[in-house]
Every structure is written in C-alpha cells, then in structure tokens.
Amino acid sequence: MKFFFNIIHWLSSQKHAYFLFGLLFIIPNCVLFFTELLPVTVGIASLLLPLAFWYAVLLLAKKPGIVVWCLLPKVILDGGQLVLLYLFGESVIAVDMFLNLTSSNASEASELLGNIFLVIICVFFFYTLPTLWLAYHSIRMKEKLSVSFRKKWAVRSFGMFLVGVLFCCLAPLQDFLFSLKNDIYPANALYNLYFAVTKSEKNANYHLTSADFKFNSSRFAHADGKREIYVLVVGETSRAMEWSLYGYERKTTPRLEKLNGLVHFKDVITQSNNTHKSVPIILSAASAENYGVIYDEKSIVTAFKEAGFRTLVIANQKLTTSMIGAFYREADTFIDMSSFKTGSYLTSLHDGALLPYLEKELKKTDDNMFIVLHTYGSHFNYHERYPKEFCFYMPDKAEGIRASYKKELRNAYDNSIHYTDYVLSEVAGLLEKTGACASMLYLSDHGEDIFDDSRNRYLHASPIPTYYQLHIPYILWFSEEYRDIFPEKYQTALAHESVPVSTNSVFHTMLDIAGVRTDESDSTLALTSSAFTVRDRMFLGDHDEPVPFWKMGLKKADFEMLDKWGIVYDKDE
Ligand SMILES: [Zn+2]
C-alpha cells in the first residue's frame, strides 16, 4: 500500500507526469524495436525520433495531460497496436488490418473478438486506462510546467530529434533504405490507414471504373454439342498438409481419393493470406504482379457470360461490401446464403446446405453453365463448420483459441476438412449425374496457423505469413464425358501435378478448361495448357506490391516446412 502511495506522490509532479507520458507514448515503439529486426541504426532512430517528437508535442500545454487527452486517437491506436503485437508477435498495424475492420462480416468479427477479448481487456486496463487516468490527474493538478522547463526540454527534444535523424542517415551503411512511412511507428500505421482508405474508395468506385470493360470472350473449343458445366469452388482456410490426398496421416479426404478424373497440384502457394485479397485474384485476371487491374476489369463470371454461359454464384460467406461481392453480382443468378437464417446458434450454414440449390439450378435449363461456389470451409470456429456426423476426431470443442486447446482445435480442423471432402465429392457427383462435359476446380484462398510450432501462431492474415498460411490444396476434377472429349487437357493437367504454381493460375486454367479465349487470357498460366510456364511466385505485399513469397519475412521454421513439403523457392536469395 505504501508503495502505491509513493507512486501517487511521485506522479503528483507535472514534470514527472511529463516524462512518464513521453515513455508511455513509445511503448509500442519499444516492443517493435525487438520484433521488427531493423538494422541497429534504424532501430535506435525508431525510438529516438518518436520520443523526441512526443516530448516536444507534450510541451504544447502547460499541463501535459491536456495534450494526452487531445491525442486520444493516438492512445487508442497504441492500444490496437499492442493487441496486434500480442496476436502476431510482430508487425505494425497493416493495411489489411484496417480493411478487415470494415470488410469482415459481423459474425466473423465477433468470433475473433470473442477469442481475443481478454487481450483487449488487458491492454485497456494496463495501458489505455492508466494513461488516460494519469492525463486526467495531470489536468486536475494545480501545478503547471514552468516556462524555463518547457524551453529547456524544447531544446533537448530538438537535439534528440537531430541525433535520431543522424542515425537514419547511417542506414545506407547497413544496406538499408530508410523510410518514415515504413519504419517509424506511428507514421507507418497512419500511412497504412491512409492506404486502406484510398483502397476502400477504389472498391466503392469499382462499378464505375470497370463499367466499360469487355473481355471479348470467344470459344476455341466446344464439347461436340454436349452440355458443358464448369465449376469453380473457392475454399476457405484449408491447408494442403491436412489433406490425406496430400499425404496427411489422418484419412481426411477419403472420398476425393476415390474419384476418377481427379488431379491434385502439390506445390501451390497462395498470393495472399487474406481472403479479401486472395479471392479477387482467384476470380479475376489480376495477379500479385498486376493487382491494380482489379479496379478496371471485370471477373471470370463476366468472361464466361460473354462466351455464352449461364452464370451462377452460390456463396456461403457474407461478402456484400467487398470486391468479391461486386464480382458475384455480375452473375445471372447470385444466391447469397449468408443472408439465410441458420435456425440454430450457428452464425453460418454448413457448406452442404448449398448442394440442394446447386442441384435445382443444374436442372432448371439445359444451358451451358459456369458456376462459382464460395464455401466457408475451415474458417474459425472450426467445430461450427460441420454437422455432428463429421465428428470423427474428438474432443473437438475448444473453449477458446489457446495453445492448451491445440488438440481440440486440430481435431475440429481435421473434421472440417473431412466435411469439405464430402461437399466436394457431392458436387462432383451432381455434375457426373447430369452427363455433361463437366469439370470442377477447387482451391483454398489461404491456409492457417494452428499453434504448429514454438511460435504459437494462430489464424491467418498476419502481415508476415508463415508456411502454414501459404501452402494450399488445389485440385481439378474432370467428368468422364470431359475426359473422353478433351483427353489432352486431362493428361496435361496430370503432367503438371508437381509444378510450382499460385492462385493467379485459376482464371487462366478455368477458361482454358472450358475452351474460352479472352483478351486477358494467358495460356502460360493455365495448368491444362502445354504452354504452361514455371515462374517465380509472388506474394501480394501490404501495399499491394509483388514480393517473392520467400522474401516475405518467413522464418527458419517456415523454410524447414517448405523443404519438407517440396515447395520450390529461390534458395540462393
Ligand atoms: Zn479466407
């Protein structure tokens, strides 16, 4: 108790409060100093520059508490940054984080928030609230900072700032290109916020910027008067390493393994670990290499529509505000299952619920069809993604997302893969039943961390990905009719089973399977084309720039897994 009173007494000095506020303001910088692995000179500058800046700013009022309350948004931002550092163990708040705040659907956000609630509470009670209470205390004090003290510390802050600038100037000696918007918190977080706002505006204007776009689609192959149906299934949060088809010891994909006409691509890396960036790449001609075209061009749905196909999208994810939703509204029929009532505590329907709608639409006409099925796959909370008949691995109920529940989480995750295996084989069954020349392409948008190693990482969409978020399952299935009419397409796909490939191949492969040519088609990216060419695989960086995926800050543990699974990357760089 005496200790507590001593602290209160010490804080009853405006000067002490001033020094303390300066230090509290750079707590996120201190954590980032250890997590961001910057060259020493830049690391020191990343502490000195903000400290000098805040010490100068705190002098703007005679009571520094007034400045702190005026900087309330910064205090809140700091809280968010600290929560993020706890979650991912590294990285400043990324553009994607800001965008996810607005684009995640309510149930997804509440599932996640429910699990990090304790962290948020801790940061609030141990950082945000004490800072604001101290500021209030400073305002209530009669004492003010003297003119001489403020002058002295204005000069000292300026001196500290100059030393910080000097350290920045030394960065090139360590082969490092310093930039304020990347390396100094909160300048980098604010730049990311600005970038996110600009991007949201582009999303909102998509219907205008893409209005006049045309693919000029034409057919270079037909199925001899037979009905043609091509299906793209967009998966969610599935890891190749968890599929027995890929060698996982648990039999999670028994049905697919028995399917005739199935090809699985072993070395597939996603171009983004974030749904809202990965799925638009899957659905369009955009790649990490040219992501900007996404705002000017339409999606694969329109490419097929122009070629005379009836287009159908059934989505089990709420996507109304994102680019994905805009793409789906291009379809002749868009069934948004996320708007359906689940009739239980579940926040979304199980993916199997889309099968009756698919069956009904297949029977409606004899048109050639292009269909997109967007599943909820293995998204957290895993145990809510499958019905009880799929509780193969038990126990599967985790009380929260904690390392101590790894067994339950992995069991539930594997059950969800088992269920995906069921849903996909049912889709193939429905297609086979039509007797059409049909094909299905399935891939996941990204993987996931589930407390896999000593880093104790979990979930996805972190600014720096891991092996577990990158390596995805990617399969092609061809109906018997298709294999009869286009045997060379099937054979070429089989021959490409082991080639290194990314999510940007989907658009080109899907169109090549269907014999559709467009102005944007690139046969060197089509897995069913003999023109397919192996290339370095890029990952879409936080500022939408292409980065070779192995240069995204992967750690030793990730490279060990890449090697174990035979994933190709440039080992000399
Ligand atoms: Zn996703």
What's the 234 CA to ligand 1 centre distance in angstroms? 9
First-to-final CA distance of the chain? 58
Pairing, β 538-540 against β 516-517: unpaired
d(CA 253, CA 243): 6
Cα-to-centroid distance, 477 and ligand 1 (Å): 22
Q: What is the mean pLDDT of residues 142-154?
A: 95
Q: Hey, is 63 helix, strand or coil?
A: coil
- Exposure of 467 in the CB half-sphere (CA atoms within 13 A): 23
Going from the Cα of 341 to the center of ligand 1, the distance in angstroms, rounded, reads 22
Whether 321 has a pLDDT exceeding 90, the answer reads: no
How much is the pLDDT for 407?
Answer: 95
Q: Report the distance separating Cα 447 and Cα 465, nearest Å.
A: 10
Cβ-Cβ contacts under 8 Å for 343 (sequence gap 6 or more): none
CA torsion through residues 469, 464, 105, 393, sign:
positive
Return left, alpha or beta for 247; rule: phi > 0 is left, psi -120 to 50 is alpha, else beta.
Answer: left
Give per-residue pLDDT as tens, 338-397. 888 887 778 889 999 999 999 999 999 999 999 999 999 999 889 999 999 999 999 999
Does the N-terminal peptide bond of residue 186 adopt cis geometry, omega within 30 degrees of 0? yes
Over residues 521-573, the pLDDT tens digits come to 999 999 999 999 999 999 999 899 999 999 998 999 999 999 999 999 998 76
Closest to 440 (Cα-Cα) out of 490, 392, 476, 483: 476
Distance 19 CA to ligand 1 centre (A): 44
Ligand 1 center to residue 487 CA distance, Å?
33
Q: Which residues contact 237 (CB under 8 A, 6 or more apart)?
A: 377, 378, 379, 380, 444, 445, 446, 447, 448, 460
445 versus 203: which is more confidently predicted? 445
Q: What is the pTM of this model?
A: 0.87
CA–CA separation, 335 and 340 (whole Å): 10
Distance 387 CA to ligand 1 centre (A): 21
| Run of H or E including 254 | helix 254-258
Answer whether residue 477 shows pLDDT above 90: yes
Q: How far, in Å, is the centroid of ligand 1 from the Cα of 324? A: 12
Whole-number Å distance, alpha carbon 318 to ligand 1 midpoint, is 12
Angle subtended at Cα 334 by Cα 331 and Cα 339, rounded to the nearest 5 degrees: 155
Q: What is the DSSP letter of 92?
A: P
**Res 177: pLDDT:** 78
Give the burial class of 86: count Cβ atoms within 10 A of its Cβ; 0-12 exposed, 13-18 middle, 19 or more buried: middle
Confidence of residue 115 (pLDDT cuts 50, 70, 90): low
Backbone angles phi, psi at 117, to 5 degrees: -55, -45
Given a contact cutoff of 8 angstroms between Cβ atoms, the answer to whether 358 and 397 are in contact is no
Distance from residue 72's CA to the centre of ligand 1 (Å): 33
pLDDT(230) > 90: yes
Strand-pair partners of 444: 235
- Return the exposure string of 550-562: e unless at least 16 CB atoms fall within 10 Å of the residue's CB, then b: bebbbeebbeebb
pLDDT band at residue 108, thresholds of 50, 70 and 90? low
Give the pLDDT confidence of 393-425 residue by residue, as tens digits. Answer: 999 998 777 889 999 999 999 999 999 999 999
Arithmetic mean of pLDDT, 252-264: 98
DSSP state of 471: B
CA 442 to centroid of ligand 1, rounded, Å: 14
Residues 106, 112: contact at Cβ < 8 Å?
A: no
Sign (positive or negative) of CA dihedral 120, 126, 131, 134: positive
Q: CA 224, CA 370: separation in Å to the nearest integer?
A: 18
Q: Is 80 exceeded by the pLDDT of residue 104? A: no
At 260-298, the pLDDT tens digits run 999 999 999 999 999 989 999 999 999 999 999 999 999
- Average pLDDT, rounded, for the chain: 92
Give the pLDDT of residue 113.
66
Out of 16-30, 129-143, 174-188, which region has the weakest mean confidence (pLDDT)? Answer: 174-188
Per-residue model confidence (pLDDT) at position 463: 82
What's the CA gap between 5 and 123, in Å, rounded? Answer: 23
CB atoms within 5 A of ion ligand 1 belong to 236, 275, 445
Distance between CA atoms of 4 and 19, rounded to whole angstroms? Answer: 19
